[in-house]
């Protein structure tokens, strides 16, 4: 489940990992048109009274870079937290599985099924996709009741909690082991709560808008400030600066909501499969799903 992009510096220069370039291509072309317009209209500058010098753009550019840096670190920390939550999900699943195998081995299979239903349901909830096929595959007849609820993932969690309570009521588990395993269930609860929080709380919308507009306006005006000094070179320099600023703006937007299908989003399909392999292997099952492999663009879905 490991992504290994080319490590040689030269190959990396031309690596194609289509996430950002395609989505800014159109804006970049517009920018080049602006540069052309600036170059062509240069002779009439005096007459038009256009007097844009680089100095105020330098001040503005550095400020935007600072704010972009802030926004990227904020978006990245959301992405990281999402990844950590899913990492914690894997850990909690393995832990509960091995606890069940230790104290009531006969139930291991049942718990594996519930845990997998939990993971797949969470994935579909976060991606707003249809959980039916996965839930029916795993839970069979029981699926219908889960699927009819508003919060299916939470319902699967409740099933696990009830399964645990039955073990306690039947005397199979002492209160101590019961509370110990309930603490592991709490970790699952924290994962789903954390993911819901990330999904339902975007970065304050005004930040995104502010930077999006500022970056765009900055890149559009820049050629007119550069053209007096650089003339034809405006195309190169303005394109270069626009490329970095627009890319970072777009990348931050993408990382802000890490649960989608974009290139830099979390590979939740692969993660679910990975959890399935782990849990089934712990049960000594032999028909395991294939280990997910990135495609030739270094992508996992």
For residue 202, state whether it binds a copy of itself (rule: CB under 8 A).
yes
Stretch that binds a copy of itself, among 33-41, 112-120, 129-137, 181-189 (CB under 8 A): 181-189
For residue 28, state whether it binds a copy of itself (rule: CB under 8 A).
no
As measured in angstroms, the least distance from the Cβ of 134 to a copy of itself is: 21
CA angle 83, 85, 89 (to 5 degrees): 115
CB neighbours of 274 closer than 8 A, spacing ≥ 6?
A: 1, 90, 291, 292
Stretch that binds a copy of itself, among 18-26, 34-42, 112-120, 136-144 (CB under 8 A): 18-26
Torsion sign (Cα): 90, 96, 98, 101 = negative
Stretch that binds a copy of itself, among 35-43, 112-120, 132-140, 198-206 (CB under 8 A): 198-206
Shorter beta-carbon distance to a copy of itself: residue 138 or 226: 226
Structure tokens at 194: 């954390």
For residue 65, state whether it binds a copy of itself (rule: CB under 8 A).
yes
How distant is the alpha carbon of residue 199 from its chain centre?
A: 10
Residue choice 44, 171, 206, 296 for contact with a copy of itself (CB under 8 A): 206
Residues 105-144 that bind a copy of itself (CB under 8 A): none
Size of site (CB under 8 A) for a copy of itself: 129
Residue choice 179, 261, 285, 293 for contact with a copy of itself (CB under 8 A): 179
Shorter beta-carbon distance to a copy of itself: residue 88 or 113: 88
How distant is the alpha carbon of residue 234 from its chain centre?
A: 36
Q: 95, 184 in Cβ contact below 8 A?
A: yes
Tell me the CA distances in angstroms from 148 to 60, 151, 233, one per residue in order. 53, 9, 62
Q: 110, 116 in Cβ contact below 8 A?
A: no
Shorter beta-carbon distance to a copy of itself: residue 19 or 113: 19
As measured in angstroms, the least distance from the Cβ of 61 to a copy of itself is: 4
For residue 170, state whether it binds a copy of itself (rule: CB under 8 A).
no
Q: 199, 126 in Cβ contact below 8 A?
A: yes
For residue 44, state whether it binds a copy of itself (rule: CB under 8 A).
no
Token pair 């495609």 is found at: 295
Residue 4: burial class (beta carbons within 10 Å; 0-12, 13-18, 19+): exposed
CA–CA gap between residue 171 and residue 239 (Å, rounded):
71
Stretch that binds a copy of itself, among 31-39, 110-118, 135-143, 214-222 (CB under 8 A): 214-222
Shorter beta-carbon distance to a copy of itself: residue 36 or 70: 70
For residue 210, state whether it binds a copy of itself (rule: CB under 8 A).
yes
For residue 42, state whether it binds a copy of itself (rule: CB under 8 A).
no
């Amino acid at each position: 489940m490991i992504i290994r992009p080319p490590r040689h510096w030269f190959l990396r220069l031309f690596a194609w990992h289509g996430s950002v370039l395609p989505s800014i291509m159109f804006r970049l072309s517009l920018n080049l048109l602006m540069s052309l317009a600036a170059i062509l209209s240069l002779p009439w500058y005096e007459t038009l009274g256009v007097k844009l010098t680089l100095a105020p753009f330098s001040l503005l550019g550095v400020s935007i870079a600072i704010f972009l840096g802030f926004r990227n670190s904020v978006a990245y920390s959301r992405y990281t937290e999402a990844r950590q939550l899913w990492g914690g999900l894997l850990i909690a699943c393995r832990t509960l599985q091995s606890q069940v195998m230790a104290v009531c081995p006969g139930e291991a299979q049942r718990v594996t099924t519930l845990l997998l239903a939990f993971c797949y349901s969470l994935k579909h909830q976060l991606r707003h996709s249809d959980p039916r096929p996965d839930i029916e595959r795993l839970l069979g007849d029981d699926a219908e009741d889960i699927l009819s609820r508003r919060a299916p993932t939470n319902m699967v969690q409740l099933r696990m909690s009830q399964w645990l309570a039955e073990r306690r009521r039947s005397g199979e588990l002492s209160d101590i082991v019961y509370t110990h395993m309930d603490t592991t269930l709490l970790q699952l609860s924290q994962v789903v709560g954390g993911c819901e929080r990330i999904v339902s709380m975007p970065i304050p919308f005004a930040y995104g808008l502010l930077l999006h507009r500022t970056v765009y306006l900055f890149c559009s005006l820049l050629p007119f400030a550069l053209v007096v000094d650089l003339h034809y070179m405006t195309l190169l320099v303005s394109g270069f600066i626009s490329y970095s600023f627009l890319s970072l703006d777009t990348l931050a937007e993408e990382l802000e909501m890490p649960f989608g299908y974009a290139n830099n989003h979390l590979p939740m399909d692969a993660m679910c499969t990975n959890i399935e392999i782990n849990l089934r292997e712990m049960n000594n099952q032999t028909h395991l799903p294939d280990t997910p492999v990135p495609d030739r663009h270094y992508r996992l879905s």
